A = this chain, B = another copy of it.
Amino acid sequence: MGEVVMARHVPATAPAADPRLEAVLLLHEIEMFNTRYAATLDEQRLMDWAEMFTDDGFYLVISRENYQRDLPVGLIYCENKGMIRDRAFALKETAMFAPRYLRHMIANLSVEPEQPDGTIAARANYVVLQVLFDRPDATLHQVGTYYDKFRRTENGLKLAERRCVYDNLLVPNALCLPV
Contact = CB atoms under 8 A, between A and B. Distances in A.
B105 A167 contact: no
A106 interface: yes
Residue of A32, A107, A140, A172 with most chain B CB atoms under a 10 A cut-off: A107
A76 interface: no
Size bin of chain A's contact surface: 35 or more
B140 A129 contact: yes
B23 A28 contact: yes
Contacts of A129: 127, 140, 143, 167
A13 interface: yes
Given A23-B28, A28-B24, A101-B64, A138 B110 contact: no
A97 to B, nearest CB: 16
A32 B108 CA distance: 8
Contacts of A153: none
Interface in A26-49: 27-29, 32, 34-36, 38-39, 42
Contacts of A143: 103, 129, 131, 138
A38 B168 contact: no
A137 interface: yes
Contacts of A12: 19-20
Contact of A144 (B29, B103, B109, B167): B103
A86 to B, nearest CB: 27
A73 interface: no
Contacts of A125: 38, 42, 103-105
Contacts of A105: 105, 107-108, 125, 127
B18 A13 contact: yes
A96 interface: no
Task: Pick the most buried of A21, A34, A169: most chain B CB atoms within 10 A of its CB.
Answer: A21
